[in-house]
Structure 1
C-alpha cells in the first residue's frame, strides 16, 4: 500500500516570506506557456504572433482563470453559502476554484484579447489550446503535493493513503488527471495542431479531449462532501464536462464541413 509522501506545502521560506509549492506550480505553468507559445509562434502553422502578444495574452488568461475559476466555484458548487456570506467570495486564499468556471473566464479573456488585436475569437483559441494542458498538469501536481482533491476509496494495487485525510486507501486521482488532462492531452493536441487544421478544429479537439479525460478521471475522484453524487450517479465535474464534450464535437464537425481538401476554411456564406 502506498502512502502519500506528506510534502511540506512550503517549498522555500526566507524570513517571513514563504513560497508554497502550489504557487511554484503556477509559475511553472506560466513559464511553459511562454516557452511553448514562442516555439509555436515560430514553428507552428499559426503565424504572426509576437513575444509581446504572448505576454499580453498570458495577462488576460491569468485574469480569466482567477476571476472565472473563483466565480465558477461560487456559482457551481456553493451558491447558497456565498449568498449568505458574500464577502467570503473574496477570500481566495481559503481555496475554492473551479476549472469549468476558469474556462469560461478564459473564453471571455480570449474574446477581449482578440478584439484588442484584431484577431477572431477562434483564431486566438486555436493558438492557445495546445498551450493549456501543461498548465493543467502543473496544477494537478500542486494538488498532489498538497494532498488535496483526493480520490475515492479503492482496493487497487496502486491505492494510496492520504494521512491528512484519513487512513483509507484511495485512488491517487490527482495523478490520473496529471497524466490524462495534462500530459496525454498535451501530446495529442501538440501533434494535432502541428499541421494546418480548419479554423476551430484545434479548439474543438481541446474541449472534447479535456471533457473526456476529466469525465473518466472523476470516476476515481472523491466527490465534494457538500455535493456528493448527482443525477445518474455522476459528479458535478462530470456533469460540467458533458457540455464540453458535446460542444467540442460539434465544433470539429462544423470546422471540417466548412474546410476544403487543403485544410483551409471556406469563407462564411
Structure 2
C-alpha cells in the first residue's frame, strides 16, 4: 500500500488570502496552453493578440461551463432549492463535461467573430486541453478529493476523510491517462495535416474512452451512486462524447481536404 503524501492544499497563505494548489493548477494549465498555442499560431494564421483573446474565451468557457455543468449534472436538486448556490463558486464544484461544452461555445463564438472555420479552430485547441486536465487531476489529488474505490491493490492509499481502507488513487490514473497519454496522442496526431474536425474527433474519442475506463476505479458521487446499467454519471456523460467523436472523424475523412490559412497563403504566394 502506498502512503498518501498529505500535502497542504494551500500553496500560499498571506493573512486572510489563501491560494490553493487547485487554483494554481488551473492557472498553470491556462498559461501553458497559451504558450503552446503561441508556438503553433502560424498554423491557423492567428496573431499573438488573437491567441491571447482565444485563451481568455476558453478560460471563461471552462469556468462558466464547468460550474453550470456541475450544478446541472450533479446537483440540480440543490440549484432548485437554492439558486444562489450556483454563484457561490468559492464553495467548490466544477465538472469537466460542462467545462467542455463551455469551451465548445467559446470556440464557436471566437471562430464566428474572426471568421475562422469552427472545426479548424477546434482542431487547434484540442491538443492544448489535456495539459489543464492533467494538472486539474493533480489538484484533486492534493485536495484529497474525488478518490477511488476500495482496493486491495498495492497502489491503494488511505485518503483523509475516506475511511481507514485503502482506495485507488484514481486522480493519478486520470492524470496519467487523460493528461499525459491523451496529450501525447493528440500532439503526435496533429503534427501532420489532418482533415478539419478529425483532431477534435480524436479528442472526443480519446477523452471519453479514457474517462469511461478510469471511472471504474473512481468512487461514484455519494448522492448519485451508480446509475443506468451500473454506470456512473461520468461514464454516462462520456459515452456520447465517444459516439460523437467517432462520427466526427468519419465525417471529416469523407470531406474534401480544406486548406488551412497558412497553406492558402503559401499557395497564393507561389502562384504570384
The TM-score range, normalised by the shorter chain, is: over 0.9
Distance 1:210 1:120 in 2: 23
- Counterpart in the other structure of 1:38: 38
**TM-score (norm: length of structure 2):** 0.92
* Alignment of 1:5 onto 2:10: no
Question: Which runs of at least 4 in structure 1 moved beyond 3 Å after TM superposition?
Answer: none
The alpha carbon displacement at 1:164 in A equals 3.0
* Alignment of 1:19 onto 2:16: no
Whichever structure has more helix as a proportion of its residues is 2
The alpha carbon displacement at 1:7 in A equals 0.9
Secondary structure of the residue that 2:12 maps to in structure 1? Answer: strand
Distance 1:209 1:130 in 2: 11
- Which one of 182, 186, 203 corresponds to residue 189 of structure 1? 186
Secondary structure of the residue that 1:169 maps to in structure 2? Answer: coil
The alpha carbon displacement at 1:47 in A equals 3.0
The alpha carbon displacement at 1:17 in A equals 2.5
- Counterpart in the other structure of 2:262: none
* Alignment of 1:48 onto 2:45: yes
Structure 2 gaps, min length 5: 260-272
Q: How does 1:41-80 map to 2 (within 5 A)?
A: 41-42=41-42, 46-80=43-77
Could you say what the CA RMSD is over the residues aligned between the two structures, in angstroms?
1.2
Distance 1:250 1:68 in 2: 24
Number of equivalent positions: 259
Q: How does 1:1-269 map to 2 (within 5 A)?
A: 1-42=1-42, 46-259=43-256, 264-265=257-258
Contact 2:44-2:124 within 8 A present in 1 as well: no
Distance 1:94 1:164 in 2: 18
**TM-score (norm: length of structure 1):** 0.93
Contact 2:69-2:98 within 8 A present in 1 as well: yes
Distance 2:258 2:19 in 1: 47
Contact 2:41-2:51 within 8 A present in 1 as well: no
Distance 2:147 2:198 in 1: 33
